[in-house]
A and B are shown apart, each in its own frame.
Chain A
Amino acid sequence: MKPNPWTVLVPTVLAIALSACGERASVDPQKQAGGDPVLPAAQNFLVPPMQVPEGVGWQGDARPTVAAGLKIEKIADKLQHPRQLLTLPNGDVLVVESNGPGQEPVTTPKQLVAGLVKSRSGKGGKGGNRITLLRKDAASGKWVQHVFLERLHSPFGVQLIGDTLYVADTGRVMKYAYAAGATRITDPGRELADLPDTINHHWTKSLLASRDGKKLYVGVGSNSNITENGLAVEYRRAAVLEVDVATGASRVFASGLRNPTGLQWEPKTGKLWAIVNERDEIGADLVPDYMTAVQEGGFYGWPYSYYGQHVDHRVSPQRPDLVAKAIKPDYALASHVAPLGLWFYTGTNLPATYRGGAFIGEHGSWDRSPLSGYKVSYVRFVDGRPTGPIVPVVTGFASADEKSLFGAPVGLAQSADGALLIADDVGNAVWAVTGSGS
C-alpha cells in the first residue's frame, strides 16, 4: 500500500503553522532605549511568544550582582510579595506587600492556558495585603521588621502627607492617621476616593503626593492588553488621576498611558514623570515600555496608537482623531522589560555617576525570548531630560540559562543614608545598594 499524501501533508502544514509563531527577538534592546527607539513592523501571532523562568528564590547567601563601585546587602527577607517602598521622615521604611486581587474572570480559552504558564514564575505569589515597617537598629545596624498596617486590599502606592498616610488599595485611596515614630497603625482608616475597580486586569494603583500636599496622583492601568475586554471597562483607566486631598474629588489628569506603574517628581524641573508598561503580542520587540514626563491633559496613545502615531490595528473602532494628538513618550526602556519602579536619586551615598538621574526597577518579561528586564537600570538626566543610554546597575535576578528566577525588582526608594532600596517580590526581600566605599 503506498503512503497517502495526506498523512504527510497535514502534519507538515500544522508544524509550519505552529513554528511560525513564537519567534525570538531580533532587535538589540539598546537600540530600543532612548528617545527614538527602533520599532519593527507589528505582526500577529498564532501562538504569542511566552518564556517564563521558574521562580526559585535566593539560595543561601546568593544576591544580585551590582555594577563596579557598588555593594548590595539584604535588609529584609521572608516578606510576603513586597512591591513598593516608602522612606518616612524618621528613616523608617514602609514595604507594601501585595499582589493582584485575583478577581479577573476567565473569559477566554487563552486565559486558562496563560494563567497556568505565568504562575510558574513566582510572580503570582500570594501578597501579604499589608505594610511592614523596617527600622534600622542604631546599635547593630540591622533592620527590624514591624507589621505596620494590615487587612489591606491589594495595596500598591503609599504616601505620607503631614501626619496622614495615604494607601492606594486596588479599589480606593485610604487615609490613616500616622504619628511620627509609630511602628503600627491601629486607625481603621477612612476612604478618601474610590478608584476604577472592575476586573482589575492591571490592578496596581501607584500613588504620588504633590509637593504642596494638596493633590495625590494615581497611576491606573488599563483593564486589558489592548481592549480585549471591551472599551466600556476602560473608563478612567490607562490614566493618571488627580485626587484632591481635601475633598477626595478626582479627575483624569493624563490618559493613554497603558499601565503607569511608577510616578515621581523630576527633582530639577519639578515635572511629573511616569514609567509605563506598553502593549504585548505584536512582536518580541514591540512595544518598548517607556518613561515620560506626564503633561496635564496629555494623551499618550493607548489603545489607538503607540510612540506617537504608530496605529494599533487590533482596536475597533479606530480613532484617527485621537491618534493625531498622541504624544510620543520621552524615553523608551526596551520591549517587555516591565518597569514597575522609578526613583530619581538625590543622595550622595552612590558614586557621582548615579546622581541626579533615574533608577528603573525592571520586573522582567514573560513574553519575550531571550528574556528582557530582570534588572535595575539607570538613566542619566541632564537639565531634567533623560540623556544617553540605559545602563544596567543591579543584575543577576535570573539565572544565566534563563530557566530559574531568583528575584525580580519592583519598587525603588532611597534610604535616609542615601542607599538605593529595591523591593524584590520573587525573592521576597528588600535590598540596599550603597557605594562600595561607604
Chain B
Amino acid sequence: MNPPVRKRPSKLAAVVFDLLNPVAFGLFAGALIFDVVYASNADILWMKAAAWMIAIGLIAAIAPRLINLVRVWRPLGGVGRPGDRAAFWLHLVGIVAAIVNAFVHSRDAYAVVPEGVWLSVATVALFVIGNVLVSLQPFAHQEHA
C-alpha cells in the first residue's frame, strides 16, 4: 500500500476554469439573443453569428466542464455537495442541448427556427439554474462552481 498523499487543488485548473467557464456561458447567452433577433427579423447575419457562438461556446466549454467533472465527483477533502452535483447534471444536459443546437444551426436559413431558439433557451436556462444553485450554497462555492 502506498502511503496516503496529501493532494492540493490545482492552481492551473482553477485559472482555466475561472477564465473559460464564463466565456462558454456568455457565448450561449449571446447565441440566444441572436436567435431571438433572427426569429423576429429573418436577417441572416444574426443566425450565422449565433451558429459561430454555439460552436465556439462548445469548444470553450470542454476544459471547464472536465475540471468540474473531477471537482464534483472526485472532490478533495470529503464528499461533493448536493448543489454541485445537481449543477453538474444541469450543465451536462445544457451542453447536450447545445450540441444538438449546433447541428440545428447548420440548417439553411429559416429552417433553424423555431428549434434553434428553443434549444438556445434550454441551454441558457439550464446553465442559469445550475449557476444559481451553486451560488446559493454556503461555503467555498468558488472552488466547486
Contact = CB atoms under 8 A, between A and B. Distances in A.
Q: Verify that A and B bind, or say they do not.
A: yes
A21 to B, nearest CB: 8
Chain B interface main SS type: helix
Contact-residue size bin, chain B (C-beta under 8 Å from the other chain): 20 to 34
A314 B43 contact: no
Given A109-B106, A316-B42, A46 B100 contact: yes
B108 A109 contact: no
Interface residues of A, number: 29
A10 B96 contact: yes
B96 A108 contact: no
Contacts of B42: 316-317
Nearest to A225: B108
A97 interface: no
Given A10-B92, A13-B96, A108-B51, A316 B106 contact: no
A107 B51 CA distance: 10
Interface in B47-65: 48, 51-52, 55
Contacts of A228: 44, 108-109
B108 A17 contact: no
A281 B108 contact: yes
Given A46-B100, A109-B52, A229-B44, A6 B109 contact: no
Contacts of B106: 46-48, 108-110
Contact of A44 (B48, B93, B107): B107
B104 interface: yes
A226 B48 contact: no
A19 to B, nearest CB: 12
Interface string A273-300: 0000000010000000000000000000
A278 to B, nearest CB: 14
Given A17-B100, A46-B100, A46-B104, A313 B111 contact: yes
A378 B76 CA distance: 74
Interface of A: 6, 10, 13-14, 17-18, 21, 44-48, 107-110, 224-230, 281, 313-317
Q: Please provide the 3 A-B residue pairs with the shortest distance between their CB atoms, ordered closest to farther.
A: A316-B42, A46-B103, A316-B110
